[in-house]
Structure 1
Amino acid sequence: MSETTYKTFAVLGAGTVATPLIKELLAHNASVLVVTRPSARARVLPAGAKHVAIDYADIDALATAFRENNVEVVVSTINHDNLDAQPPTAEAAKKANVELYVPSEYGAPTAGHTEGLLGVKNRFAESLTAAGLPFARLYVGNFVDWIPYLFALSETGKLNIIGEGTTRGSFTAVSDITGFLAYVLTHLQPSQLHNATFRIEGDRKSLVELASLYGDKFPVARISAFPATVENGPLRTWLQSALNSGIASTGFDAVKGKDDEDLARSSNSLWPGHQWKSAKEVLDL
């Protein structure tokens, strides 16, 4: 007997990844429950989605909402500043007999990492395994849409580059990320999703190559780190350093310590017929 595909979803959050993902899921005729915290900024959600505001630490309330809405899959889009909120949401999912949990990855590969942000994400994925809650991890590299942010272009008027900037990494458009995720979640069978890792890549570029896309529109500045005057300077410094070290490729293996370019886009083919967007196209350069 063939398996049925998933139809009912809960999306945690309503930000950069969540909102277009909700639209994509609805376009695939899925039922979507959006769960935000009571303190979250009010947002206009896509028509057709149901919304509840629940404290992510309230396991019983979350579990009740998941059960009442027959949620099969929980997709977390909780941002990197609030990842400590994920564990209770997973506990609630387990309590409500949710079948699949998609943790908030949406970046560089985390498997094998033990330190920093990537280590936090990896430990959470490992905790899902320990709890017996099936998961699906999605590695996307950097968001193409955030390349200007990566350079601190709007704040400084310059294309700021840390280090040599010649190592290539993965870049994927947000629309490709959310479109891919919605497609596989609604088209692949549960056995293809449970404890699976997906690696996608829309474009492969180095900082120097990205800067060259702008031509002579902005000057290039060589820096050692972003100054304190740049908002989220440490994060931007880390993002560029990760790219320079090679770990920002979706084909990077932390255990082996090397990158595999073919592995980087190994899941692209799961979205048949899709044309992946380049950095040049997204940035309209």
Structure 2
Amino acid sequence: MSSKITSIAIIGSGNIGSFILSALVAQTPPPSTLIVLTRDPTKKLPPGAKAVKVQDYEDVDAVAGIFTEYKIDAVLSTVGWPGIKSQYKMADAARKAGVKLFAPSEFGTPDGAPIPSFQEKDKVSEYIESIGLPQARFYTGGFISSLIPITGVRVNGKINIIGKGQSPVSFTAEEDIGGFVAYVLTSLTVSSLSNKKFRLQGDRATLTDIAKWYNKEIAYVEAVPGPGSENLSMLSKLFESGGGSTGWNFELGKEGEGEEAAGSANQLWPEHEWKKIRDVITKLEI
């Protein structure tokens, strides 16, 4: 499996999917194949990407037929929470079609996080491994653009913290995530990508740091206020535990080293200037 990927199928083209798709269109050299599976074949896509209609994502034979027709080397999933379980069938279809690499939808914390929705991602990965399908997992930490709602600052003008707020959290800009994924998928060999975990980190900060940067008062709370309080509070507790770092090892309860360190994969995209939090967010608007 030393060859490079020349044909990619994307499942899902929402928020992070749109960034990855744009980067792939820009970086994928012709005559490579880039398709997006969708129920709407009229979906507007960037030039260079082709929308392919899928009637039923649960129909393994039909989806495998698409992968076979387009001679797909790699399947990249960017589905959101509602679509996480659909990846079991997608993996079956990829395996049946002889796809060389499957990248499940991750784009967050490392494996082992004690949050039910995150644990389902781990189960998907375990299933992919069990059927002998090579996979690549991308850990990005929080999206920089999601920093404002995570802090609850729009509700009370304060940085709301559960705990002390002194554990470092990894953040990465969506543009950098899209660019990195596109770069490694089109530059590295299949063997270099197979069964690897890529730990990105555009920036690293504690919630206390962020409050100081933007001259915001800290509110120590039991729950992060605002819409989606339950989910935001779970994330805040995860951050407090150290699990917001892309290098965090949940089993050992500490930061990893070497290839398991936060941001260790950044070096694979040489000379790239990673966006920092203050590059993207000049001030925390209420």
TM-score by length of 1: 0.90
2:272 counterpart SS class: coil
- Measured in 2, the distance between the counterparts of 1:76 and 1:202 equals 22
Q: Where does residue 81 of structure 1 map in the other structure?
A: 82
1:263-278 matches, cutoff 5 A: 263-278=261-276
Q: Which residue of 2 aligns with 1:35?
A: 37
User: Residues 137 and 197 of structure 1 are in contact (CA less than 8 Å); yes or no, is this contact kept in structure 2?
Assistant: yes
Please tell me the residue identity of whatever aligns with 2:14.
G
CA contact (8 A) 1:114 1:122 kept: no
Distance across 2 between alignment mates of 1:11 and 1:201: 23
Q: 1:61 to 1:152 in 2, by over 3 A?
A: farther
Counterpart residue number, 2:195: 195
Number of residue pairs aligned between Structure 1 and Structure 2: 277
Quote the Cα distance in structure 2 between the aligned partners of 1:17 and 1:148.
17
Task: Supply the AA of the counterpart residue of 1:232.
Answer: G
Which has the higher mean CA deviation after the structures are superposed, 160-169 or 237-246? 160-169
Q: Which stretch of the first structure deviates more once superposed, 168-177 or 51-60? A: 51-60
Does the aligned pair in 1 maintain the 2:159–2:207 contact within 8 Å? no
Matched ranges for 1:234-253 at <5 A:
234-253=230-249
What is the identity, as a one-letter code, of the residue corresponding to 1:141?
Answer: G
Q: How does 1:199-218 map onto structure 2 within 5 Å?
A: 199-216=199-216
Per-residue deviation, residues 226-247 of structure 1 (Å, max 9, x unmatched): 35xx322211111111111101
**Compared with structure 1, are the counterparts of its residues 165 and 43 closer, same or farther at alpha carbon in structure 2 (3 Å cutoff)?**
farther
Gap runs ≥5 in structure 2: none
Q: Please give the per-residue CA displacement for 1:24-45, whole angstroms capped at 9, x wherever unaligned.
A: 111122421111345x9x8642
Deviation for aligned residue 1:137? 0.7
AA paired with 1:96? A
SS at match of 1:78: coil
Distance in 2, Cα, partners of 1:17 & 1:273: 23
Asked whether the 8 Å contact 1:19–1:45 carries over to 2, the reply is no
Aligned twin of 2:67: 66
Gaps of 5+ in 1: none
The SS at the match of 2:79 is coil
Select between 8-17 and 27-36 the one with higher mean Cα deviation: 27-36
One-letter code of the match for 1:133?
A: L
Q: Helix, strand or coil for the counterpart of 2:85?
A: helix
Which is further off, 86-95 or 156-165? 156-165
Q: Distance in 2 between matches of 1:131 and 1:69?
A: 22
Q: Distance in 2 between matches of 1:143 and 1:251?
A: 16
- The whole-number CA distance in structure 2 between the counterparts of 1:93 and 1:182 is 19
Would the aligned equivalents of 1:151 and 1:160 in 2 still touch at CA under 8 Å? yes
**Residue 237 of structure 2: SS of its match in structure 1?**
helix
What residue is the counterpart of 1:19 in the other structure? Answer: 18
Amino acid at match of 1:165: G
Deviations along 1:42-85, one digit per CA (max 9) or x if unpaired, are 86422221112323222222112111111110000011233111
| Comparing 61-70 and 8-17, the one that deviates more | 61-70
Aligned-pair identity (%): 37
Change (3 A) 1:191 1:36: same
Shift in CA distance, 238/43, structure 1 to aligned 2, threshold 3 Å? farther
- What do the CA deviations read for 1:169-227 (whole angstroms, capped 9, x no partner)? 111111111111110111011110111111111111111112222225xx543321135
Residue by residue, what CA displacement relative to the aligned partner does 1:75-116 show, whole Å, maximum 9, x if unpaired? 000112331111111111111111100011111101x45762
In structure 2, relative to structure 1, the CA distance for the partners of 1:151 and 1:261 (3 Å cut) is farther
Give the Cα separation in 2 of the matches to 1:49 and 1:70.
Answer: 15
Equivalent position SS for 1:264? coil
CA distance in 1, matches of 2:122, 2:178: 21
Equivalent pair of 2:43/2:51 in contact (CA under 8 Å): no
> In 2, are the aligned partners of 1:114 and 1:120 still within 8 Å (CA)?
no
SS for the counterpart of 1:70 is coil
Residues 165 and 284 of structure 1: CA distance in aligned 2, closer, same or farther (over 3 Å): same
Which residue is 2:107 aligned to? Answer: 106
2:151 touches 2:224 (CA, 8 Å); kept in 1?
no
